C-alpha cells in the first residue's frame, strides 16, 4: 500500500511536469491518458499503481485545473514527499467486494493487494441492502500517523427532509467556552490530550529539537529523528481524531434540536496570522500571539461551521451567518457599545447608566448573534463576497 501511494504521488508530479511543459494547443485529456499508459508500461514501479487509480489521478488533476480556471482554487502544484498525505483512490465500487465478517470487522478487496480486513465503524449498503439507489461507488485509502484508513464513497437515496420547526439559536465560538448558545447552554470538552500525553508530547518535541541541533545543514535526517517525528505525529493525530469526534457529536445534537442556527462570519485565516512583523517593524507580544493562534487552530472553528452547514440542511433546518464585528463588545440588553464593558474573558458588565446589565460574556455575544439575524442582517454569499440581506425593519430589542 505504501508503494502504491508513492507511485500515485509520483504519477501526479510527472503528469504535472508533462502538462506544464507542453504547448497549450497540444494539451488534451486524450494525450494525457496516452502518456500515462505509456509511462506505466515503460517504468516498472509506476506499474505498481492500478490502472483505475492512475485514471483517477488524471481525472482529479484535470478537475483541479477546471477549478483554477473558474476561480474556485489555485493552480495545482508539485506534491512534496513529506508534506503530502499518502493516498490511493479506488474509483469503481464493484471491484471492492465488501463483506462483513462480524460486528466489528469487514473484508474488502484492494486491487493488486488482495483481501484486507478493516474495522467496521459505519453501516454500508452491502449484500441484500445494496441496489441501484443504495450502493458503494468507490473508496479511498489514506495513511496518517496512526496507520492506513479506508473511506468508502456511498450513494444513498434519502427522502427530502421536512422543514425543521425547532427554535432559533445563536452560537458564539470561543476558546474558554468552545460553543456558547443564546439560550444559556454551553458545549464544552476536555483537553484533546490527557495529562500524561501532554507531558509525553513536550518530552518528544524537546528530544526532536535536541537531535536536530546535531544535524549539519544539508545532512540527511537520521532514523532516530524520523522515529521521534513519527511519535509526535501519532499523538497529534490522536488529538485531531478526538476533536473531530466531539465536533460530529455536538453538531449532530445541535442540528437535530434547532431549526435555525446563526453563527458569526469569521475569517479564521486572518485571525491566526503571525505577529512577527518585518525586520524594520518587528511585532510585539509575538509569543502570546503564537499561543493564541495555536489555540484557535486546535478548536477548528471553520470545520465546526462546515459540519453544521450540511447537518442542518440534512435535518430540514438552515444555517445563517451574521457580521462578526462588535458582537463581543455590544450589550445584548440595551444594544449599546460602551468602552470597558468586557471586564475580563468571562464577565460582561454594561457601562450604560440606564442599563447596567451583567452576565456571561460568551452568552452575551451569542444573544447578539441571534439578534442580528432577527434584524435581517444575515449574510448571503454572492460571487465570492458577502452581501448583507435586510429582510425587513425590526425594532431593535434585546434577543431573548
Question: What pLDDT does residue 382 have?
Answer: 42
Question: What pLDDT does residue 380 have?
Answer: 64
Question: What pLDDT does residue 299 have?
Answer: 87
Residues in the chain with pLDDT values less than 50: 382-400
| Of 129, 137, 154, residue with least CA distance to 90 | 137
342 in Cβ contact with 358 (< 8 Å): no
Question: What pLDDT does residue 381 have?
Answer: 56
Question: What pLDDT does residue 81 have?
Answer: 84
Question: What pLDDT does residue 390 have?
Answer: 39
10 in Cβ contact with 55 (< 8 Å): no
Helix/strand/coil (H/E/C) assignment for every residue in the chain: CHHHHHHHHHHHHHHHHHHHHCCHHHCCHHHHHHHHHHHHHHCCCCCCCCHHHHHHHHHHHHHHHHHHHCCCCCCCCCCCCCCCCEEEEECCHHHCCCEECCCCEEEEEECCCEEEEEECCCCCCCHHHCCCCCEEEEEEEEEECCEEEEEEEEECCCCCCCCCCCCEEEEEECCCCCEEECCCCEECCCCCCCHHHHHHHHHHHHHHHHHHHCCCCCCCCCHHHHHHHHHHHHHHHHHHHHHHHHHHHHHHHHHHHCCEEEEECCCHHHHCCCCCECCCCECCCHHHHHHHHHHHHHHCHHHHHHHHHHHHHHCCCEEEEECCCCCCCECCCCCCECCCCECCCCEEECCCCCCCCEEEHHHHHHHHHHHHHHCCCEEEEECCEEEEECCCCCCCCCCC
Helix pair angle (2-21, 51-69), 10° resolution: 50
**Cα 117 from Cα 99, distance rounded (Å):** 10
CATH T-level topology, domain 159-190+243-400: Nucleotidyltransferase; domain 5 (3.30.420)
Integer Rg of the chain from CA:
26
| Residue 290 Cα distances to 10, 201, 211, 272, 294, angstroms | 35, 18, 24, 8, 6
Residue-wise pLDDT tens digits, 315-358: 999 999 988 887 888 888 887 887 777 766 778 888 777 787 78
Task: Find cell 425543521 and name the residue.
Answer: 164
Task: Find cell 442580528 and name the residue.
Answer: 372
Question: What pLDDT does residue 278 have?
Answer: 67
Residue-wise pLDDT tens digits, 207-226: 999 999 888 888 888 889 99
C-alpha dihedral (323, 326, 328, 330), degrees to nearest 10: -120
**Cα 310 from Cα 158, distance rounded (Å):** 14
Question: What pLDDT does residue 279 have?
Answer: 63
Helix pair angle (223-257, 286-299), 10° resolution: 60
Amino acid at each position: 500500500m505504501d508503494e502504491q501511494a508513492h507511485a500515485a504521488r509520483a504519477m501526479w508530479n510527472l503528469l504535472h511536469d508533462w502538462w506544464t511543459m507542453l504547448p497549450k494547443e497540444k494539451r488534451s485529456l486524450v494525450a494525457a491518458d496516452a502518456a500515462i499508459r505509456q509511462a506505466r508500461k515503460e517504468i516498472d514501479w509506476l506499474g505498481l499503481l492500478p490502472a483505475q487509480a492512475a485514471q483517477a489521478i488524471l481525472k482529479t488533476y484535470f478537475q483541479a485545473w477546471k477549478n483554477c480556471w473558474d476561480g474556485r482554487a489555485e493552480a495545482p502544484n508539485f506534491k512534496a514527499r513529506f508534506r503530502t498525505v499518502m493516498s490511493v483512490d479506488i474509483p469503481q465500487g464493484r471491484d471492492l467486494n465488501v463483506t462483513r465478517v462480524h460486528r466489528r470487522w469487514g473484508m474488502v478487496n484492494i486491487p493488486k493487494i488482495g483481501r484486507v480486513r478493516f474495522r467496521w465503524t459505519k453501516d454500508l449498503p452491502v449484500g441484500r441492502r445494496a441496489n441501484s439507489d443504495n450502493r458503494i461507488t468507490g473508496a479511498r485509502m489514506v495513511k496518517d500517523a496512526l496507520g492506513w484508513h479506508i473511506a468508502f464513497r456511498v450513494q444513498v437515496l434519502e427522502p427530502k427532509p421536512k422543514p425543521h420547526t425547532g427554535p432559533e439559536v445563536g452560537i458564539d465560538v470561543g476558546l474558554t467556552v468552545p460553543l456558547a448558545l443564546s439560550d444559556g447552554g454551553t458545549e464544552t470538552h476536555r483537553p484533546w490530550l490527557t495529562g500524561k500525553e501532554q507531558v509525553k508530547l513536550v518530552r518528544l518535541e524537546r528530544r526532536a529539537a535536541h537531535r536536530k541541533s546535531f544535524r549539519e545543514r544539508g545532512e540527511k535526517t537520521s532514523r532516530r529523528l524520523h522515529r521521534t517525528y513519527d511519535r509526535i505525529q501519532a499523538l497529534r493525530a490522536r488529538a485531531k481524531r478526538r476533536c473531530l469526534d466531539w465536533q460530529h457529536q455536538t453538531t449532530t445534537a445541535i442540528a437535530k434540536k434547532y431549526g435555525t442556527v446563526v453563527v458569526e462570519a469569521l475569517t479564521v485565516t486572518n485571525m491566526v496570522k503571525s505577529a512577527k512583523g518585518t525586520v524594520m517593524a518587528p511585532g510585539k507580544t509575538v509569543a502570546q500571539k503564537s499561543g493564541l493562534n495555536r489555540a484557535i487552530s486546535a478548536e477548528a472553528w471553520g470545520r465546526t461551521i462546515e459540519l453544521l452547514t450540511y447537518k442542518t440542511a440534512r435535518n430540514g433546518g438552515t444555517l445563517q451567518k451574521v457580521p462578526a464585528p462588535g458582537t463581543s463588545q455590544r450589550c445584548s440588553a440595551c444594544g449599546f457599545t460602551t468602552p470597558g464593558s468586557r471586564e475580563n474573558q468571562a464577565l460582561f458588565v454594561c457601562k450604560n447608566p440606564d442599563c447596567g446589565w451583567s452576565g456571561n460574556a460568551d452568552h452575551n455575544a451569542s444573544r447578539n448573534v441571534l439578534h442580528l439575524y432577527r434584524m435581517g442582517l444575515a449574510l448571503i454569499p454572492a460571487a465570492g463576497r458577502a452581501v448583507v440581506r435586510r429582510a425587513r425593519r425590526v425594532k431593535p430589542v434585546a434577543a431573548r
